[in-house]
Structure 1
Amino acid sequence: MAESSRQLPSNMVAREFGEVNIRPVGTQLEVTFTIAMEPQGVDAEGWQTGVALDASGSMREWFGQSLKGSFPPEALAEYRQKGWVYTKNDDGRSITMARPEAYEDGLRRGYLKNSENIIQPLAREFIGYLAENLDADGGTTVIYWACGNGGATEVLGDFTAQQCRELVLEGPKSVKFGDGTQLLPALKYFVERFSDAARGMYLFLTDGRLDDLDAIKRYTRELAQAIANGNRNPVKCVLVGVGSEIDASQMEQLDDLDTGTDVDIWDHKIAQEMRSLVEIFAEVVDENQLVAPMGRIFDSMGKQVKNFPDGLPAKVTFTMPRGSQFFELEVGGERIRQSVVML
């Protein structure tokens, strides 16, 4: 029985490849890889793009909205005298509480500091890249999602590559950070707003903890069926994991979701592992796009396992002996080696 497919981490993948997946099948290893490239020709036209930022409570730290550090004993004593720190009884437990004045003074004196905002520079990169290189109107739509009760969104607007350089991204303003993490409202926002777009590319930055996974799967299957039936245009969604405590399991479930069609809606990446932004297009290319006049693939024993005399496609699937440590793609007079051993 064939085992499930596994995607190699981005930092393991040769720079020439967009994505590499491996799947043991009996005595063979099935390998699928894509060439790292932006959409070309007609496939580069008519895109609408969006970047959605997870604003659930667990993301507060990554927006720079958490405080790090502690008050020294002498400062606590001072704050108690001023009434800035007090003790509260909660079900028989004594809890020390601090008023805003204590936090403000702690920040001024250096006892406390804000967590680093890792979302803002990362999101600016994605927004600018999509706006400049892909979006038909030159502006990428930006929203916060998982706000309020976990299902609310806050729309920031459309931003050009130039505008996003000064874009402040510190979390939602009109609603609070969310009490849950519901992805479906954000997905529907893009799909429904850009229903007439020739193509849609939507990125969702998150720590990967989703509360509505089953609902997303149902909606994704319906969306894929509509695309397969020709009732709507293609959509590609990419989950981008951020932070140091990413829950990748649900992201992988969506990436590997069987929609019952040939339409693949979801991909996932880990921001820290990404080598270049072009990786978001790893699953946009297909086997009908030719990227070189010819190409050959060899296993780690040097045996040719695939030949493309009439043109190398942008997406390739082949098999080689399960014990192979790597494969090599020969193209343009060079050989590109790719390990398939996952540590």
Structure 2
Amino acid sequence: MFLDKASPLFGKINVYPPEGGKQRVEIYIRLDQRVENMEIGIAIDGSASMQPLFAANLPKAFRQPGSNVMEPVVRRLCNFVCDYSGDGTVLPIYWAVGNGGKEIEPIGKVSGAASKTLPVEGPKSSWGGHTSLLPALDYFLSEFSQANWVIVLFITDGRIEDLDAVVARAMEVGKEVVAEKKRKFKFVVVGLTHAGVRETEIEAMKENLEKLDNMFDGTELEGKVDLWDCKLAEQMNELQDIWDEVDFGITIPGNAQISDDRGNVIQSYSDGIPQRMEFSVSPETSSVTIEIAGETIVQPLS
């Protein structure tokens, strides 16, 4: 379960089911800085159902200004994430292109400045007839093989047709992360809903996103790694929401103290604050009080 945030300092807040008389809580602190040796990719769905969002279903002579709604969205995303990547660039691609929907079309690395005028009109090759995510995932894992930190943002409006293969590949990545503890990955999937997609496809997409988000539950990696953060675009209020569940592994200068609703101190940080604060409370705890950055914040847990 994740909750509404009591402060703009916070990203995502997760409250896990009680276990052994305790309830685990995670609170992510929002970060606003460049991360050394981080590579970021953006994968834009190039399947046929996306054509209306690019106005690609209309002859160019009939397209009205602003009818390509994807271009400004992708430009803003690219510009935003460039402020975080290690070298100030992002690598966008189209995925799910070609007859089988299993091809990708790289756009090439762009800087924040270049992203402001980046043409985003859809793939130059044919629009995909299916939606296969694994080729895009494998592409970025290969391209960013030397990076300590890899974040990939996938944008899609449909059901992921090779979901089982994606889960299997992500399980391999998760095991590598736990075993080596050197590299970090986060795959963010943003689902789009629009008039051109049938309701059954939207429901299938939501089921896919939930399965990816929870793929490690009940496995040997549960609680050890969290690769996916899946959300619907309509639930996002601002671009910063992309990072709500990304643990950059950074310690923030300062100190903090967390108390339960009975005044008991349950966690304190005296020499730096982890960007992902994790602690346990008793299941009946309704809120915690967090003293941080000169503020006293009461955060409900239900």
Tell me whether the two structures share a fold, i.e. TM-score over 0.5. yes
Distance, in Å, in 2 between the alignment partners of 1:197 and 1:28 is 37
Say whether the 8 Å CA contact 2:43–2:94 is kept in structure 1. Answer: yes
- In 2, the alpha carbon distance for the partners of 1:28 and 1:116 equals 52
Matched, 1:25 2:34: no
Instruction: Give me the whole-angstrom Cα distance separating, in 1, the residues matched to 2:6 and 2:50.
Output: 28
Counterpart residue number, 1:268:
230
The TM-score with structure 1 as length reference comes to 0.72
Partner deviation per Cα, 1:260-306 (whole Å, 9 max, x = no partner):
3423222223333334434433444267724531322333xx54352
Aligned to 2:296: 335
C-alpha distance in 1 between matches for 2:68 and 2:284:
44
Moved more, 228-237 or 329-338: 228-237
**C-alpha contact (below 8 Å) 1:305/1:320 kept by paired residues:** no
The residue type paired with residue 157 of structure 2 is D
Give me the whole-angstrom Cα distance separating, in 2, the residues matched to 1:174 and 1:45: 35
**Equivalent pair of 1:226/1:232 in contact (CA under 8 Å):** no
In the TM superposition, what is the alpha-carbon distance from 1:190 to its structure 2 partner?
A: 0.7
Query: Which residue is equivalent to 1:190?
Result: 140
- Partner-residue secondary structure (3-state), 2:116: helix
1:150 equivalenced with 2:108 (yes/no) = no
Judged with a 3 Å threshold, the aligned counterparts in structure 2 of structure 1 residues 208 and 18 are, in CA distance, closer, same or farther, namely farther
2:122 equivalent to 1:171: yes
Q: Equivalents in 2 of 1:274, 1:252: separation in Å? A: 16
What TM-score does the superposition give when structure 2 sets the normalisation length? 0.81
Q: Could you say if the C-alpha distance between residues 154 and 46 of structure 1 is closer, same or farther in structure 2, counting changes exceeding 3 Å?
A: same
Separation in 2, partners of 1:294, 1:233: 27
Question: For the structure 1 residues 318 and 233, does the alpha-carbon distance in structure 2 shift closer, same or farther, using more than 3 Å as the test?
Answer: closer
1:339 and 1:116, CA in 2 relative to 1: closer, same or farther beyond 3 A? farther
Distance 1:7 1:266, change over 3 A: same
Q: Which runs of 5+ in 1 are unaligned?
A: 1-5, 68-99
The gaps in structure 2 that reach 5 residues or longer are none
Q: 5 Å matches for 1:298-309?
A: 298-299=260-261, 303-304=263-264, 306-309=266-269
Higher Rg: 1
Q: Structure 1: how far apart are the matches of 2:226 and 2:186?
A: 8
Map 1:205-220 to 2 at 5 A.
205-220=155-170
Q: Residue deviations 1:101-142, cap 9 Å, x none?
A: xx97xx59xxxx7994332222112211222x2333332111
Letter of the aligned partner of 1:143 in structure 2?
A: I
**Which residue does 1:59 correspond to in 2?**
50
Q: Is the 8 A contact 1:287 1:313 kept in 2?
A: yes
What is the CA-CA distance between 1:28 and the residue it aligns to? 5.7
* In 1, Cα distance between equivalents of 2:248 and 2:78: 24
CA separation of 1:23/1:140 partners in 2, compared to 1, >3 Å: closer, same or farther?
A: same
CA distance in 2, matches of 1:307, 1:233: 27
In the TM superposition, what whole-angstrom CA distance separates every residue of 1:159-183 from its partner, at most 9, and x where no partner exists?
11111111121211122x2111110
179-188 vs 205-214, greater mean Cα deviation: 205-214
Q: Which residue of 2 aligns with 1:96?
A: none
Does the CA-based 8 Å contact 1:147-1:154 persist in structure 2? yes
Secondary structure in 1 matching 2:132: coil
State the 1:233 CA deviation: 3.2
Amino acid at match of 1:65: A
Q: Which residue of 1 aligns with 2:243?
A: 281
Secondary structure at 1:25's aligned position in 2?
Answer: coil
Partner SS for 2:170: helix
Q: Distance in 2 between matches of 1:63 and 1:19?
A: 31
